[in-house]
Structure 1
Amino acid sequence: MSDGNGNSSGVERINPPHLAPPTGFSHAVRTTAPGTLVFLAGQTALDSTGRIVGDGIVEQFERALGNLLEVAASAGAGPSDLTKLTVFAVDVADYRHHAKELGRVWKRLVGSDFPAMAVIGASRLWDEEALVEIDGIAVVR
């Protein structure tokens, strides 16, 4: 099955033409290949000492996404295996304001494959200094 980008990975990204075109996400992701579900816990911009690093949303997003990708890789999943992500942001307006920069971070770390995604506003996260947290699901084939 092609994912719409010419890849035969068993993952299909579905974006119905009658819905608004997605920017930075897919409306749906379907997998038909046999595989293992990997549930990825929420990751923030924690460094290896357990301290939040990064002065703003873009730096923290990059670190949180990097942490999520590292966890995924430890479970055998690559960036194209990500099927569902949820981004929790303490300031959705700030997240939207930096959308282009966040998109550049995404493309550099993940590429042009987009999972089904949601951004949800949160009054605060577990780590009070965290501006963003990302969790997700991957399918390892």
Structure 2
Amino acid sequence: MAGPDLINPPELGPPAGFSHAAASRDLVVLGGQIGSDASGRILAPGDLVAQFGRALENVAIALRAAGSSPELALKLTYFVTDVAAYRANLKPIGQSYRAVFGKHFPATSLFQVSGLFDPEAVVEIECLALRRVA
């Protein structure tokens, strides 16, 4: 069996010691996606809603590059630095979510963490998804 496909779309920040996505057969696993642009820079330091929306867009970019899409997501894991801020912004976060995932709601977990690798990041999202195989 061949090894996994390692996927690093140019629209996402440059990988350094990791891949944005790995896929094998019909499974896609995403590394944590943050609210960064193609250079890897956080676009809205301190803004949970903006970073959440951008991180979801980055999830969609990585999924598509791996031959998948948001509607094929099986599991999302959210890491946030402030659960209270997440709860306080459920409506705009939900709007950002539906803009990318529509009404597809895969299994999901949310964890509060004391920090993320990029100190300006306040949210990071991991995803497991199916891949379209020909």
Normalising to structure 1: TM-score of the pair? 0.73
Task: Figure out how many residues of one structure are paired with residues of the other and give that number.
Answer: 107
Identity %: 41
Q: Matches of 2:54 and 2:38 in 1, distance apart?
A: 11
Give the unaligned 5+ runs of structure 2: 1-24
> After superposition, what is the alpha-carbon deviation per residue over 1:64-108, rounded to whole angstroms, capped at 9, x for unaligned?
111111000000111110010100000010011101111111111
CA drift of 1:50 comes to 1.5
Q: Matches of 2:54 and 2:123 in 1, distance apart?
A: 10
CA-based RMSD of the aligned residues comes to 1.1
3-state SS of the aligned residue for 1:86?
A: strand
Q: Look up the match of 1:49.
A: 39
Residues 1:81 and 2:55 aligned together: no
| One-letter amino acid of the structure 2 residue matched with residue 129 of structure 1 | E
Match of 2:30 among 30, 40, 46: 40
Q: Which runs of 4+ in 1 moved over 3 A?
A: none
3-state SS of the aligned residue for 2:128?
A: strand
Q: Matches of 2:98 and 2:34 in 1, distance apart?
A: 19
Larger Rg over CA atoms: 1
CA drift of 1:131 comes to 0.6
| One-letter amino acid of the structure 1 residue matched with residue 44 of structure 2 | G
